[in-house]
Amino acid sequence: MDELIAALHSLLPADSVITDPVRLRTYECDGLTYHRATPGVVVLPETAEQIARVVRLCNDFGVPFVARGSGTGLSGGALPREDGVLVVTAKMRRILEIDLPNRRAVVEPGVTNLAITEAVRDQGYYYAPDPSSQQVCSIGGNVAENSGGAHCLKYGFTVNHVEACEIVTPEGDLVTLDRMDPGYDLLGAFIGSEGTLGIATKITVRLSRTPEAVTTVLAAFESIEQGGQAVSAIIGAGIVPAAIEMMDALSIEAAEAAVACAYPAGAGAVLIVELDGPAAEVEQQFARLREICSAAFELRVAAGPAERAAIWKGRKSAFAAVGRISPAYIVQDGVVPRTSLPAVLAAIDRLSREHRIRVANVFHAGDGNLHPLVLFDDGTPGEGERAEVVSGAILDLCIEHGGSITGEHGVGVDKSRYMPRMFGADDLDTMQLVRCAFDPRGLSNPGKVFPTPRLCGEVPGVRKGVHPLVESGKAEQF
Amino acid sequence: MTLAQIGVDVRQAGQGDAVRGVVPRWVALPTSVEEIAAVLRACAEQDLAVTPAGGRTKLGWAASPERCDVLLDLSRMDALLEHAAGDLVVRAQAGLPMDALAAALADKGQELALDVPPGWGATVGGTLAAGLAGPRAFRYGTARDLLIGVTVVLADGTIARSGGKVVKNVAGYDLGKLFTGSYGTLGVIAEATFRLHPLPAGRRWVVAEPDAAEVPAVAAALATAQAEPSAVEVDRPRQDGPVALAALVEGTAAEARAEALREIVGSGTVTAEPPAWWGRIPPGETLAEARFPPAATGAVLEAAGTALRGSPVSGRMLLATDERLGVSTLRKAVEEHGGRVVVLRTPDDDVDRWGQVSALGLMRRVKERFDPGRRMSPGRFVGGL
Ligand SMILES: Cc1cc2nc3c(=O)[nH]c(=O)nc-3n(C[C@H](O)[C@H](O)[C@H](O)COP(=O)(O)OP(=O)(O)OC[C@H]3O[C@@H](n4cnc5c(N)ncnc54)[C@H](O)[C@@H]3O)c2cc1C
Ligand SMILES: Cc1cc2nc3c(=O)[nH]c(=O)nc-3n(C[C@H](O)[C@H](O)[C@H](O)COP(=O)(O)OP(=O)(O)OC[C@H]3O[C@@H](n4cnc5c(N)ncnc54)[C@H](O)[C@@H]3O)c2cc1C
């Protein structure tokens, strides 16, 4: 490590190499704080060329490297390696080009998600993917996680809004992956690869035109079942709202305690539905929505931006808010087909009672993305373990119902052990062929996503017999 | 086991089974994912080269394979496996004709928003493997944006899945994107799962013939119009001829929104049917695609010495001609504006179909990993992949 650090000093300005143990420790975890490791060394490069040189150096020394943006990730993706280099993009925060005629912007990876929207909002544009962490999270992190946001129901994820990425490959080459290029869609494979296929150094994003009209509705229901029925009815009516969010009684209680969001008292569930688009269309859809939500005991419609923000306030604070009603909690992220929501919510409720662990449910109801908040008291012996059991069982439920173990927070270190429950060995081996093509030495963010690294030298044996998904009955289940 | 021993239907191939002039020896007709795997394992054992085929409408596109022993015909894998209407998701076998899929979805008031024109026999797998964009890519993206899960079979017979049947899913690498547009050179797409959209409440087209010089500015204004067109297309049947322009509005209040677009165009009519050329590949022996930043529309219209059709708002146009296409001049002009030119189909063997690709080295390595024996349509794709 000492030799490597000396070499890094010769490549980078003095203040771009961090070795002070106290400062190193500030990088020991991302937003998932129960996985910690002090990085061997931290570098803060200022250019793509510097990142390429750092990566080449890592190759010379056979040392792993991990990219880090703003460290808001919730799956331990940016967990450093004690024997490796943490490459932090915090000094690469320039918006390089705003090209409105082509509706795109070219940015450095450390630029925050919201900064892009702020740079073009006055001209009537915005960057569509809007993770709740958008004030701080970096676009490089968004690319790595294929982040979504409340509005991805209508507008899609990061992968649908990125036109090109310049990357430093795990071997230190600068390569551009462009949607316009013929050939394999390596851009599509890179986005969502959680830093395991290289480091994004320049990102071209698509800008969207601000919609003409936005209508935000808060509907309060007596029960979560009624809320769920309304969601199904909205989709069934052929309406694709920008967002459909749902919160249950416990998460409403938490939000109330934290930010006094003043949601209707006594609600078993609230739905936030946002319609946007051409004014004439929004108007007609809203009329329809009102009919559909007839079971709601209260329906609030935001009259302007301030009221819209008030409606969103409770939802946006929900994660942090549960801290008010519980000493500790796990934020889970799983996906089920929307039509399985009622069954899955009932099963979560059973799990909760069986293990005496409270679960607050907040979710992107439109696309079946659950964020159960599993509450526990870390001061009470055994509760943490019980919460872990409940949290894991929720993922099993998602898999059982044909869903996914993560809708937006990624696999990282946290969920790699669940990957074999969702995918068979052949599936994972095949994904790792991509890894081996990009990173034959396994130096780029090793230990993330996949439970066991594939040795890239090995010749894949032909596996015979039934696919594990078929064997376990899951493939027929669809 | 040899191909004859695996219990899958195999017949002798004929001229009609050629892949851009290369006539295979056999045609294999698997009926299940496992049978595809069995065929590919047998081919691996005997080092036979394979080209997958769906509706066979594009076997003459791209380059000829270096060798082709077996045409893997997916036409018997034509089942619609499940349509989960409430989840707006469908899963189908690769050989399912797009027309049959569209009809089944329309029954439930839904669609796969991929403008494959009816009546050609294109299949799910072929549509993915060729990865062409239609007019509404402007709004919905291309096949890769609507594909949420795949089952593929690799050259060694390995069956692998990625994605799933939920739209929101970031677990693992997205093999679906990798296989979309891969022209059968990485493996066989056996099954695919797509996200669907509700059939729009209404559709209206604004059809006009603006002055050719005005087209770029009109298109730019339409692209950012808050009436939100789903597509804007132009058609120029002859190099120096007039340019027809059409914009599509979908959803509720379509009529009023179309009227708003007509005002932007400054002329034209609002109709309930598309013009005849809408979403069709223009006729011509040689077909090329220009992809470019939308603001380069004017430059592309000028540089293309051919008939041309496509989207000035997405920055994609098909150029068609029966004469020789001056590819290098055209490519130079389009690349100067940040674009690319790909020759999709040509009788000419010496043309540089693809141009420069920054990531070609990485693509080669992906090909080597997925198909180390170079048996899957070798040579058909970029850089001889
Ligand atoms: C309160 C809160 C709310 C959140 N809400 C959402 C939400 O609504 N939707 C959502 O999708 N996520 C959400 N997240 C998760 C998180 O914000 C996103 O995953 C985000 O994209 C991470 O960005 P980051 O810059 O913080 O990345 P980091 O945490 O620094 O890194 C995340 C991963 O990206 C890799 N990485 C970082 N930069 C690069 C680069 N330049 N090149 C290659 N790899 C790189 C890292 O190695 C790591 O694997 C939330 C998190 C918090 C704390
Ligand atoms: C906007 C738009 C406009 C169109 N217009 C026209 C038109 O005007 N005329 C027309 O004929 N078609 C048109 N099409 C249809 C479409 O382009 C093709 O027909 C389709 O892409 C090819 O389908 P196919 O089943 O015939 O594939 P094939 O021709 O059988 O195969 C095409 C390529 O894909 C590979 N392939 C096929 N199946 C698989 C598989 N399962 N796994 C791996 N590789 C596979 C083949 O090896 C081959 O390289 C249009 C499509 C779009 C999106």
pLDDT tens by residue, B332-362:
999 999 999 999 999 999 999 999 899 999 9
A464 CB neighbour count, 10 Å cutoff: 8
Tell me if A74 sits within 8 A of A28, measured CB to CB. no
Residues in chain B with CB shorter than 8 Å from the CB of A185 are 144, 177-178, 180-181
Q: What is the pLDDT of residue A469?
A: 45
Beta-carbon separation of A180 and B158 below 8 A: no
pLDDT at B107 over 60: yes
Tens digit of pLDDT for each residue in A330-385?
Answer: 999 999 999 999 999 999 999 999 999 999 999 999 999 999 999 999 999 999 99
| B214 inside 8 A of chain A by CB | no
Strand A174-178 versus strand A243-248 pairing type: unpaired
Q: CA-CA distance, A240 to A238, in Å (whole number)?
A: 6
In the Cβ-directed half-sphere of B278, how many Cα atoms lie within 13 Å? 21
Q: What is the pLDDT of residue A34?
A: 86
Query: For the residues A160-167, what does the mean pLDDT come to?
Result: 98
Tell me where in chain A the CATH 3.30.43.10 domain(s) lie: 2-88
Q: What is the pLDDT of residue A48?
A: 98
Q: What is the pLDDT of residue A477?
A: 30
Q: CA-CA distance, B175 to B142, in Å (whole number)?
A: 16
Q: CA-CA distance, B149 to A39, in Å (whole number)?
A: 36
Task: Return the ligand 1 atom nearest residue A134 CA.
Answer: 17
Query: For the residues B7-36, what does the mean pLDDT come to?
Result: 97
Nearest CB among A189, A409, A435 relative to B177 is that of: A189
Tens digit of pLDDT for each residue in B169-191?
Answer: 999 999 999 999 999 999 999 99
Q: What is the pLDDT of residue A470?
A: 43
Query: For the residues A38-57, what does the mean pLDDT come to?
Result: 98
Q: Give counts: helices (H), strands (E), chain B.
A: 11, 19
Q: CA-CA distance, A25 to A359, in Å (whole number)?
A: 32
What's the gap in Å between A143 CA and the centre of ligand 1?
A: 8
Q: What is the pLDDT of residue A473?
A: 47
Please give the interface size between A and B, counted as residue pairs whose CB atoms are below 8 Å apart: 261
Tens digit of pLDDT for each residue in A414-439?
Answer: 999 999 999 999 999 999 999 999 99
Query: For the residues A190-202, what does the mean pLDDT come to?
Result: 98
Tens digit of pLDDT for each residue in A232-264?
Answer: 999 999 999 999 999 999 999 999 999 999 999
Confidence of residue B287 (pLDDT cuts 50, 70, 90): very high
Of B256, B275, B138, which is closest to residue A209 (Cα–Cα)? B138
What's the gap in Å between A138 CA and the centre of ligand 1?
A: 7
Give the ligand at the shortest distance from the Cα of B72. 2
What's the gap in Å between B147 CA and the centre of ligand 2?
A: 16
pLDDT at B76 over 60: yes
Confidence of residue A303 (pLDDT cuts 50, 70, 90): confident
Q: A75 CB less than 6 Å from ligand 1?
A: no
Q: CA-CA distance, B385 to B181, in Å (whole number)?
A: 13
Instruction: Identify the residue with better confidence: A348 or A453.
Output: A348
Maximal CA-CA distance, chain A:
70
Nearest Cα of chain B lies from the Cα of A105 at a distance, in angstroms, of 12
| B87 inside 8 A of chain A by CB | yes
User: Can you identify the CATH homologous superfamily of domain A213-400?
Assistant: FAD-linked oxidases, C-terminal domain (3.40.462.10)
Q: Looking at chain B from residue 316 to 355, which residues have their Cβ under 8 Å from any Cβ of chain A?
A: 339-340, 342, 354-355
Tell me where in chain A the CATH 3.40.462.10 domain(s) lie: 213-400
pLDDT at A129 over 60: yes
Residues in chain B with CB shorter than 8 Å from the CB of A422 are 164, 171-172
Confidence of residue A463 (pLDDT cuts 50, 70, 90): very low
pLDDT at A461 over 50: no
Pick the CATH number of A2-88 from 3.30.43.10, 3.10.620.30, 3.30.465.10, 3.30.2420.10: 3.30.43.10
* Alpha-carbon distances of B217 from A344, B305, B336, B340, rounded to whole Å: 51, 21, 20, 21
Nearest CA to ligand 1 atom 41: A140
How many Å separate Cα A66 from the centre of its chain? 18
Q: CA-CA distance, B207 to A19, in Å (whole number)?
A: 65
pLDDT > 90: what percent of chain A?
91
Side chain identity, residue A70 = S
The 3-state secondary structure of B315-363, one letter per residue:
CEEEEEECCCCCHHHHHHHHHHCCCEEEEEECCCCCCCCCCCCCCHHHH
Confidence of residue A474 (pLDDT cuts 50, 70, 90): very low
Q: What is the pLDDT of residue B353?
A: 96
Q: What is the pLDDT of residue A352?
A: 97
- Burial class of residue A291 in the structure, from the number of CB atoms within 10 Å of its CB (0-12 exposed, 13-18 middle, 19+ buried): exposed
What's the gap in Å between A159 CA and the centre of ligand 1?
A: 14
Q: What's the pTM?
A: 0.96
What's the gap in Å between A412 CA and the centre of ligand 1?
A: 10
The mean pLDDT value of chain A amounts to 93
Query: For the residues A313-338, what does the mean pLDDT come to?
Result: 91
Residues in chain A with CB shorter than 8 Å from the CB of B145 are 156, 159-160
Q: Which of B116, B153, B180, B230 to mutate to test the pocket of ligand 2 (most atoms within 8 A of CB)?
A: B116
pLDDT at A460 over 90: no
Query: For the residues A168-186, what does the mean pLDDT come to?
Result: 97
Nearest CA to ligand 2 atom 31: B126
Nearest CB among A157, A422, A424 relative to B171 is that of: A422
Beta-carbon separation of B357 and A181 below 8 A: yes
Element containing residue A359 per DSSP (H, E): strand A359-364
DSSP E strands in A62-170: the ranges are 65-68, 85-88, 95-99, 104-107, 125-126, 162-168
Q: CA-CA distance, A117 to A98, in Å (whole number)?
A: 11
The dihedral built from the CA positions of residue B160, B164, B165 and B167, taken in this order, carries a sign that is negative
Which tokens is A97 given? 């080009």
Beta-carbon separation of A185 and B381 below 8 A: no
Side chain identity, residue B206 = V
Q: CA-CA distance, B315 to B244, in Å (whole number)?
A: 16
Q: CA-CA distance, B135 to B142, in Å (whole number)?
A: 10
Write down the residue that tokens 């460290």 correspond to. A71
Beta-carbon separation of B252 and A368 below 8 A: no
Tell me where in chain A the CATH 3.30.465.10 domain(s) lie: 95-209
Q: CA-CA distance, A21 to A26, in Å (whole number)?
A: 9
Residues in chain B with CB shorter than 8 Å from the CB of A433 are 366, 369-370
Nearest CB among B158, B170, B365 relative to A146 is that of: B170
The crossing angle, in degrees rounded to 10, of helices B215-223 and B254-265 is 150
Q: What is the pLDDT of residue A459?
A: 46
Q: A369 CB less than 6 Å from ligand 1?
A: no
Which tokens is B194 given? 């797509």
pLDDT at B366 over 90: yes
Query: For the residues B129-142, what does the mean pLDDT come to?
Result: 96
Confidence of residue A452 (pLDDT cuts 50, 70, 90): confident
Q: A158 CB less than 6 Å from ligand 1?
A: no
Q: What is the pLDDT of residue A317?
A: 87
pLDDT > 70: what percent of chain A?
96
Q: What is the pLDDT of residue B256?
A: 95
Which tokens is B102 given? 């569209």
Of A327, A439, A334, A345, which is closest to residue A383 (Cα–Cα)? A327
Q: What is the pLDDT of residue A455?
A: 77
Q: What is the pLDDT of residue B1?
A: 80
pLDDT at B78 over 70: yes
Side chain identity, residue B160 = A
Nearest CB among B89, B174, B372 relative to A189 is that of: B174
Task: Return the ligand 2 atom nearest residue B120 CA.
Answer: 11
pLDDT at A306 over 70: yes
Tens digit of pLDDT for each residue in A58-78?
Answer: 999 999 999 999 999 999 999
- What does the domain layout of chain B look like in residue ranges? 1-199, 203-345
| B104 inside 8 A of chain A by CB | no
Tell me if A120 sits within 8 A of A126, measured CB to CB. yes
Query: What architecture does CATH give domain A95-209?
Result: 2-Layer Sandwich (3.30)
Query: For the residues A108-125, what does the mean pLDDT come to?
Result: 98
CATH of domain B1-199: 3.30.465.10
Which tokens is A390 given? 């409940």
Q: What is the pLDDT of residue A462?
A: 40
Of B257, B164, B144, which is closest to residue B203 (Cα–Cα)? B257
Q: Which of A108, A137, A155 to mutate to test the pocket of ligand 1 (most atoms within 8 A of CB)?
A: A137
Torsion, Cα A191 A194 A200 A205, to 10 degrees, reads 40
Q: CA-CA distance, A409 to B340, in Å (whole number)?
A: 35
Q: CA-CA distance, B111 to B251, in Å (whole number)?
A: 13
The 3-state secondary structure of A207-275, one letter per residue:
CEECCCEEEEEEEEECCHHHHHHHHHHHHHCCCCCCEEEEEEHHHHHHHHHHHCCCCCCCCCEEEEEEE
Strand A65-68 versus strand A85-88 pairing type: parallel
Element containing residue B33 per DSSP (H, E): helix B33-46
| B123 inside 8 A of chain A by CB | no
